[in-house]
C-alpha cells in the first residue's frame, strides 16, 4: 500500500495507477465479451453460463461470493480510475488556464482527445447497463433469476430488441473502442514499454484490440436487431 501511495503522490504515478486500473477493466472486457458471444451457442448454453457465474467456487465458497469478490475489484478499480482521471484532468486544466486563439492539433490520434468525454459517456452507459441487464430496473420485460435458474438469454434478447436501446449500446461501444485505441497504446507508454525492438508493435496491437472488442460486443445487439438472435 505504501508503494501505491508513493505512486499516487506524483503526476506520473497517478498515470501508472490509471494504466493498471484501466488494464484490469480491459481484461474484464475481454472476459465479458467472450461470455456474451456465448449467446450465439443458444439459450441453454447462455443461461447455464449466467448460472455458473453465480455459483463459481461452490462448494468451497457460498454462492455469489466469488461473483461479489470479483465485482468488488471491478468497482474499486473503476472508482480509482475515474477519480484519477478527474484529478489529472483538473491539474491539466489549471496548467493551461489561458488558452490560445489559434492552436493546431498536433496530437497523433483523435482518440487521445476524446478520453475524458468518452470516459464520461462510458460511465453513463455503465450505470444504465447495470440498471438494464443486471438489476432489470430499466428493463421493460425483465425476468429475475430464481431457483429454476437464469433467464439471461431472454433478458438479453428482449432488452436489445428496442432499436433505440441497441443504438445506445453501439454508441457506448464506439466510445469504449476509441478509449481502448488510445488507452491500450497509452498504457504501454505509461508503463514504460518502449523497447526499440517492439515499440512499433504498440499501435497495431492497440488497433487490433480496439477493433476486436468493438466487433465482438456489437455483434450481439446487431444480431438481435437482425433477428439472428431470438
Partner 1 sequence: MNLTLHIWRQDGPRDGGAFQTYQAKDISEHASFLEMLDVVNEELIKAGQEPIAFEHDCREGICGSCGMMINGVPHGPRGMIATCQLHMRIFNDGDEIWIEPWRATAFPVIRDLVVDRGAFDRIIDAGGYISVRTGSAPDANATPVHKHDADRAMDAATCIGCGACVAACPNASAMLFTAAKVTHLGLLPQGQTERYARVVDMVHQHDAEGFGNCTNHGACQEACPKGISIDTIARLNRDLMVASWAAAGE
Closer by beta carbon to partner 1, 110 or else 149: 110
Residue 115 sits in the site that holds ligand HEM (CB under 6 A): yes
Residue 112 sits in the site that holds ligand HEM (CB under 6 A): yes
Kindly state the cell numbers that stand for 101: 486563439
Closer by beta carbon to partner 1, 97 or else 226: 97
What are the residue ranges of helices labelled H in 9-109? 11-37, 43-55, 65-95
Distance CA 173, CA 210 (A): 10
Site string for ligand HEM, 128-167 (x = CB under 6 A): ----------------------------------------
Closer by beta carbon to ligand HEM, 151 or else 186: 186
In the bound complex, what is the minimum distance in angstroms from residue 74's beta carbon to partner 1? 23
Return the residues of window 65-84 that contact ligand HEM according to CB under 6 A: 81-82
Residue from 39, 49, 50, 119 touching ligand HEM (CB under 6 A): that is 119
Residue 19 sits in the site that holds ligand HEM (CB under 6 A): yes
Task: Name the one range near ligand HEM by CB under 6 A: 3-11, 101-109, 117-125, 159-167.
Answer: 117-125
Long-range residue pairs from 37-43, CB within 8 A, at least 24 positions apart, any chain: 37/216, 37/219, 37/220, 39/153, 39/156, 39/220, 39/223, 39/229, 40/219, 40/223, 40/229, 43/153, 43/154
Number of H helices, E strands in the chain: 9, 0
Site string for ligand HEM, 189-228 (x = CB under 6 A): -x--------------------------------------
Residue 25 sits in the site that holds ligand HEM (CB under 6 A): yes
Cα angle 22, 55, 65 (rounded to 5 degrees) comes to: 60
Residue 15 sits in the site that holds ligand HEM (CB under 6 A): yes
Q: How many CA atoms lie within 13 A of 138 on its CB side?
A: 12
**Nearest CA to 229 among 33, 24, 41?**
41
**135: how many CB neighbours lie within 10 A of its CB?**
11
Residue 22 sits in the site that holds ligand HEM (CB under 6 A): yes
Kindly state the cell numbers that stand for 51: 448460472
Residue with cell 514499454: 193
Q: Binding residues for ligand HEM, per CB under 6 A?
A: 15, 18-19, 22-23, 25-26, 29, 81-82, 85, 89, 112, 115-116, 119-120, 122-123, 179-180, 182-184, 186-187, 190
Amino acid at each position: 500500500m505504501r508503494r501505491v501511495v508513493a505512486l499516487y503522490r506524483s503526476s506520473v504515478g497517478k498515470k501508472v495507477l490509471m494504466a493498471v486500473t484501466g488494464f484490469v477493466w480491459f481484461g474484464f472486457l475481454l472476459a465479458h465479451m467472450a461470455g456474451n458471444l456465448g449467446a450465439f451457442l443458444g439459450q441453454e448454453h447462455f443461461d447455464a453460463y449466467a448460472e455458473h457465474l453465480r455459483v463459481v467456487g461452490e462448494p468451497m465458497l457460498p454462492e455469489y461470493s466469488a461473483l461479489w469478490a470479483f465485482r468488488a475489484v471491478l468497482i474499486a478499480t473503476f472508482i480509482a480510475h475515474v477519480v484519477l482521471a478527474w484529478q489529472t484532468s483538473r491539474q491539466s486544466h489549471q496548467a493551461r488556464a489561458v488558452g490560445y486563439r489559434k492552436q493546431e492539433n498536433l496530437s497523433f490520434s483523435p482518440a487521445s482527445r476524446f478520453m475524458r468525454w468518452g470516459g464520461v459517456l462510458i460511465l453513463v452507459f455503465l450505470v444504465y447497463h447495470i440498471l438494464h441487464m443486471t438489476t432489470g430496473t430499466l428493463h421493460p420485460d425483465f425476468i429475475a433469476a430464481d431457483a429454476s435458474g437464469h433467464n439471461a438469454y431472454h433478458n438479453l434478447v428482449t432488452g436489445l430488441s428496442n432499436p433505440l436501446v441497441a443504438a445506445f449500446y453501439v454508441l457506448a461501444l464506439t466510445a469504449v473502442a476509441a478509449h481502448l485505441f488510445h488507452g491500450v497504446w497509452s498504457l504501454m507508454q505509461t508503463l514504460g514499454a518502449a523497447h526499440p525492438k517492439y515499440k512499433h508493435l504498440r499501435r497495431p496491437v492497440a488497433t487490433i484490440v480496439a477493433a476486436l472488442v468493438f466487433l465482438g460486443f456489437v455483434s450481439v445487439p446487431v444480431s438481435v436487431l437482425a433477428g439472428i438472435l431470438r
